[in-house]
Amino acid sequence: MIVVMKLPKVYEAGQYESDIYALWEKSGAFTADPHSTKEHFSISMPPPNETGTLHIGHALFVTLQDILARNARAKGKDVLWLPGTDHAALPVNALIEKQLTDEGTNKHEIGREAFLERTRAFVGNSRDTINTQIRAMGASVDWTRSRYTLDESLNRTVNEVFVKMYNDGLIYRGNRIVNWDPNLETNVSDDEVVYKEEQGKFYTFHYGPFQIGTARPETKFGDKYVVMHPDDERYAQYNHGDQFQAEWINGPVTATVIKDESVDPAFGTGVMTITPWHDQTDFDIAERHGLDKQQIIDFHGKLLPIAKEFAGMPIHEARPKIVEKLESKGLLVSVDENYAHNVALNDRGKGVIEPQIRLQWFIDVNKPAVDWKGEKLTLKQTMQRVITDSDIEIIPKRFEKVYFHWIDNLRDWCISRQIWWGHRVPVWYRTNIDGKTETYAGLQPPTDTSEGWHDWEQDPDTLDTWFSSAMWTWSTLIDQNLAKDPSLSLEDLLEKSIDFKTYHPTTVLETGWDILFFWVARMILVTTYATGQVPFKHVYLHGLVRTENGRKMSKSSPETIIDPMEVIPEYGTDALRLALIQGMSAGNDQRVGRTKILTNRNFCNKLWNIARFIEDTIGDNPDREGAKPISAADHWIVGKLDEAQTKISNDLDKYRFSEAYDTLYHFIWDDFADWYIEASKVEPNKPLLAYLLESVLLLTHPFAPFVTETIWQTLAWEADSILASRELKDIIDHDKKSAADFTEIQAIVSETRFILKALKASGVTLYYNDAPFIWENAGTIKRLARLQDVTETEEGTGVYLTSTKHRSWLDIDARTAQAYLKELQIKQGQQAAAITQLENRLGNENYVKNAPREVVDETKQQLQDAKDLLATLEQETQRFAIMPTE
């Protein structure tokens, strides 16, 4: 137990947070127990890439998942929140290769083993940094089960699934078009390609009797097909398969007409030549019609010998020279100098993508092979079925449409990468003296050494990181000791691993909407196939964190970035966590800045000050077990606690984080601090104050764990940690009629405060006549309304209160009230005139029709603002509607 003898005046988070986390970790409070009879709740933390440090997006998902985990424990559940890190093959590989380049060498010079050794050292340091930062965010993860995507047991799982899919015919090796990055010299997946709009040139050329357009003339050396839509009447005289002669870059070619429905007749001339080796659409057309394919550009981004005098040139150098040659032949029709087009880039490293046909490993997403719910389905069908059958719920629901659109357009997934860091493809090859090649997929190569065969050699490629990450929810739950036994099959490992049987499918996956395709969809694809289960029951998608003015945080603009590890020492972890969830909604981006963080630090300070008051009031060892409400305020606050606890619980069950926090915020700040604490200063109910403090700390703990634990440590209660108490307190009995009495007090106080503020009055007495209710609650009303006194009298003059049925008035001079009322009436007249003028302007058809749209919109907003102000003035006037006679 951390001993904090008494709460100091100011809460300084940095003095407590590291010690508090160490206390939690040492206590074992975060460790899951699969043997528990409690209801089980499980989350797999999206593993951060081991490429450096956590950013604000990581802080968001840690906060949301920690709230879910702590809330589940508060409801008496056994919780497994499993942490881990991702080897992040492509970005880590890119970082190490850049380091080598800066040192004047490369991976080929130092060799594969030296490269891997260097990489392991780098990611090891990064992993330690990341885990330290996860602790700093207060993550209540089960560190005893921490995993790493290159762990031995996870590597075995990846290999097992690959082999299983290979044997089932779902993984194949074939020549297909891929996204090739010449800079990093590797394939990247479709979802890792980003597009940047650029202004370029669009060329139109003569090609035999046709005109064709292109932005990439350097790919056109092998073009010998023209493609058009079969229903395009402009070219009805041409039949599919017709041939013609055309003069082209390197001389005459024999071209063939192809009719295909994929051509857009409205684009350009409606006719195009195709380059099947370097364009996905062209490749698909060639596949459908059995057309030849020819490579034009090599894997380093330079032209091949087919380009003749341009061979060996990089693309940017060759392009203008090729155009110049075509123009000299009279084949150039026109050049559009302002052609806006998208350039494909690798999201990692931003290298320009050059589509290439390569012999690679693919997952066939259209082959029926998966037995799901007793039916044979393709992987694509399964991915759709789990959503349509409600086995998985996506939150917010609108992303289901986006999800289905992606699946409808899903191509076979290229899973091989030409880098050294990652899970190596578990396939071996050998050739005999006649050049015959044999392929074997397995965890280890065969021991067969038949005469005439060379030694087995493993495929040098590694697997796409998303392939291994797709198994994250269940591969991490396989017993690591069992995984060392080669005699056990994958099915055996799943059957014998108690964590898998207890915690899978996981309860929820919480992640960003931007990796819905990268990760979420692929987890569904692989997990349903390998385990026969969905990976999770719910998917909650959060948005991106932006700056206060809505800008995207970018490394290229360091001033836009909020670094969690810089914010935490200044404001505290809880302030950052609360700022991240305040006002957020599922799937939507949100704005976070230091102003918002400061606001939520003030909330933590408010809670701290409440605790200071209560602890000073109740003293040591309060009898909170005997707490019961006595006064109207007591009954009211217990009712408010009941409402807040119920709503927060329901909102968190539905992943409405912001709504839950909003309820908590206003309950603590408005109801508890501004009303009840002030009311309790009249005659404190010490046992109830102790009960309320305990309840508030437990209710707030999932959102702000550090400040609540720090306060808890000052209390001489039986539980050494708030986590030892865990479960929320049962709401004690309270009377609704008594609570309604306090609502009446609030009405009297609110009206009194309003009048005193409006008239700038002080030292005022509230008089009442024949009002036992006010007499019974005089002390509370006096304190809350900041009155000089509350006194009973027979008659008197002043400003009567209109919000209560009890006859009462404030001893304020009538002239003062009448003068203010007259001022309000003048303002009302001014606003009414302004409204008439604005309505007349908007009623003028010429104005609405001819004025700029933004001007009209501004006028409409001015009208609405004027109406709102008039309503406020009328409401204020009603406060003074009953005036006394002198």
Least confident of 345-359, 417-431, 739-753: 345-359
Do residues 442 and 163 make contact, with C-beta atoms less than 8 angstroms apart?
yes
User: Which pLDDT score is estimated for 198?
Assistant: 85
With bands split at pLDDT 50, 70 and 90, how would you rate the model's confidence at 1? very low
* DSSP collapsed to 3 states, 716-746: CCCCCCHHHHCCCCCCCCCCHHHHHHHHHHH
Provide the phi-psi class of 760: left if phi over 0, else alpha when psi is between -120 and 50, else beta: left
CA angle 711, 717, 720 (to 5 degrees): 70
Q: Output the pLDDT for position 471.
A: 97
pLDDT attached to residue 879: 64
Average pLDDT, the chain: 90
Which pLDDT value is given to residue 427? 96
Structure tokens at 3: 């001993």
pLDDT in tens, 664-723: 999 999 999 999 999 999 999 999 999 999 999 999 999 999 999 999 998 877 778 888
What is the average per-residue pLDDT within 410-435?
91
496 in Cβ contact with 167 (< 8 Å)? no
Residue 3 has pLDDT above 60, yes or no: no
pLDDT in tens, 82-137: 999 999 888 888 889 889 999 999 999 999 999 999 999 988 888 888 999 999 99
pLDDT of 478: 97
- Tell me the average pLDDT across 554-574: 80
Pairing state between β 545-546 and 536-542: unpaired
Q: Three-class SS of residue 231?
A: coil
Instruction: Return the pLDDT at 41.
Output: 98
pLDDT at position 371 is 57
Mean of pLDDT values over 152-175? 95
Token readout for 502 is: 């207890």
- The 10s digit of each residue's pLDDT in 206-225 is 999 999 999 999 999 989 99
The pLDDT of residue 449 is: 65
Residues sharing a CB contact under 8 Å with residue 498, sequence separation 6 or more, in sequence order: 34, 35, 479
Cross-strand partners of 214 = 203
Over the stretch 232-273, which tens digit does the pLDDT of each residue have? 999 999 999 999 999 999 999 999 999 999 999 998 899 999
Q: Is the pLDDT of residue 11 over 80?
A: yes
> Would you place residue 816 in the very low, low, confident or very high pLDDT band (cuts 50, 70, 90)?
confident
Average pLDDT for residues 859-880, to the nearest whole number?
81
Tell me the mean pLDDT in the region 812-830. Answer: 79
Q: Give the model's pLDDT for residue 885.
A: 46
pLDDT of 347: 77
Alpha carbons 723 and 2: distance in angstroms, whole number: 13
Calpha distance 124→129 (Å, rounded): 9
Closest CA to 644 of 619, 669, 625, 626: 669
What is the per-residue pLDDT for 559?
62
Q: How far apart are CA 634 and CA 764, in angstroms?
A: 27
Q: In percent, how much of the chain has pLDDT > 90?
A: 64
Q: Which residue has the higher pLDDT, 801 or 25?
A: 25
* pLDDT tens-place string over residues 272-310: 999 998 888 899 999 999 999 999 999 988 999 999 999
Q: Sign (positive/negative) of CA torsion 350, 354, 359, 364? A: positive
Distance between CA atoms of residues 696 and 609, nearest Å:
13
Read off the pTM. 0.85
Could you report the per-residue pLDDT of 493-532, keeping only the tens digit for each?
A: 999 999 999 999 999 999 999 888 889 999 999 999 999 9
pLDDT of residue 577: 97
Q: How sure is the predictor about 593, in pLDDT bands with cuts at 50, 70 and 90? A: confident
Q: Are 440 and 417 in contact (CB under 8 A)?
A: no
For residue 555, is pLDDT > 60?
no
Residue 550 has a pLDDT of 75
User: Could you read off the pLDDT of 26-59 as tens digits, one per residue?
Assistant: 999 999 999 999 999 999 999 988 877 788 888 9
